[in-house]
Amino acid sequence: MSTVWLNGAFLPEGKAMIPATDRGFLHGRGLFETLRTYEGIPFRLEDHVARMKASAARFKIPFRDDDFESVVRELCQRNRLRDAAVRLTLSAEGRLLITARPRSPLPPAWYEKGAEVMVAPWRRDPRALLAGHKVTSYLENILLHDEARERGCADALLVGLKGELLEGAVTNVFLVVKGRLVTPRLAGVLPGVTRKVVMELVKVTERTVRLKELWKADEAFLTNALMEILPIGKPGPIGKSITEAYRELTRTLGSSRIRCSLGSSFTSPALIGNGLARRSPIFRIASTNPSRGFPSRSAQISPSVMPFHSASGILSETFRSAQTQTRRSKSET
């Protein structure tokens, strides 16, 4: 039986009790953070705690500081964990639970050859009250992410009401567009800690990113604390350089404010644009299955390669044909 930390005490998980009336249990009224340890040392713990504190203040949830660094290290020692997934869970009453479990790594081939993603079949309102916060009422994201994994995808991307790309169900997303590294602005987007680290390592433009830009991106990748940096489609030179710089930080657990030197291409977008051959990511597009609210397996389009054309003709013929067929179906009904 593993050991957990609850309200200041280390306990066997079977003896860690909360009241049956706790609103975190009853209503999902609470917050959580997930982070990773390397050799039993938490990476960027202070950023995760700061984000939880900010959300706690926003939703008027009591939060008490502690020496969380020592807690996480001892928790990993007691559970004999080195590469661990650590979770902090804060209930509406201010009860704080910290758990550590072995991290489940993603398939190595996803890092070597690139992963696929799917697109959620509904739109998300970035103005929603809970947008941008890690709340324990997380069921929609979990179900969507589980569906993506069942289909062999790394995650499902969420799109806003105006067709803007927001984030993944459990990830942030970055694109290299015309040689420039961009990521969706934070309106309605979780301020991911790994996202923050990437933006400390290299110049990134935060702006509104349209979903259609994904199809013509030079590169794309996902980020979160457990997966680190995961390429969408064939890995490119920028993503590879950022990955190496990120992993160097985790190896040394150096200062979070250090700006790594990744070469002149990262400070000169023009050099990036002139020096990169365009590569096409692999995407999975899906229509809606009304019975479950998820994409229909029979209707999905999963081209192995989406070739690049001119800017005006960037979509693959397969995807364009699907769009045409959809328009025809709508006109006939």
**What's the pLDDT tens digit per position in 140-194?**
999 999 999 999 999 999 999 999 999 999 999 999 999 999 999 999 999 999 9
- Strand order of the sheet with strand 3-6? 9-12, 3-6, 96-102, 84-91, 30-38, 41-42
Say which CATH number the domain at 55 has: 3.30.470.10
Predicted pLDDT at 97: 98
Same domain, 171 and 122: yes
Same domain, 120 and 246: yes
Alpha carbon of residue 91 to chain centroid = 23
Q: Would residue 16 count as lying in a domain? A: yes
**How distant, in Å, are the alpha carbons of 82, 92, 115, 225, 317 from that of 36?**
10, 24, 21, 6, 41
Q: Would residue 7 count as lying in a domain? A: yes
pLDDT at 11 over 90: yes
Same domain, 75 and 127: no
Question: What is the pLDDT confidence band of residue 24, given thresholds at 50, 70 and 90?
Answer: very high
Same domain, 269 and 120: yes
Q: Would residue 235 count as lying in a domain? A: yes
At residue 21, φ and ψ (nearest 5 deg) are -95, 5
Same domain, 64 and 152: no
Lowest mean pLDDT among 87-96, 206-215, 251-260: 251-260
Residues 6+ apart with CB under 8 A from 255: none
Number of domains in the chain: 2
pLDDT in tens, 94-119: 999 999 999 999 999 999 999 999 99
pLDDT in tens, 263-298: 333 332 322 332 333 333 444 444 334 334 433 332
Same domain, 132 and 91: no
Do 235 and 108 meet the contact criterion of CB atoms below 8 Å apart? no
Same domain, 197 and 58: no
Predicted TM-score (pTM) of the model is 0.79
Q: Tokens for 167?
A: 């984030």
Same domain, 47 and 62: yes
Predicted pLDDT at 306: 27
Mean pLDDT score across all residues of the chain: 81
Q: Would residue 304 count as lying in a domain? A: no
Residue-range definition of the domain harbouring residue 226? 108-275
Predicted pLDDT at 269: 32
pLDDT at 222 over 70: yes
Based on its alpha-carbon atoms, the radius of gyration of the chain, rounded to whole angstroms, reads 21
Last residue of a domain, one of 76, 102, 128: 102
The residue to which tokens 């397996």 are assigned = 297
Lowest mean pLDDT among 53-62, 223-232, 289-298: 289-298
Predicted pLDDT at 287: 36
Same domain, 123 and 96: no
Same domain, 214 and 252: yes
Share of the chain above pLDDT 70, in %: 76
Mean pLDDT of 302-325: 29
Question: What is the pLDDT confidence band of residue 262, given thresholds at 50, 70 and 90?
Answer: very low
Higher pLDDT, residue 318 or 156? 156
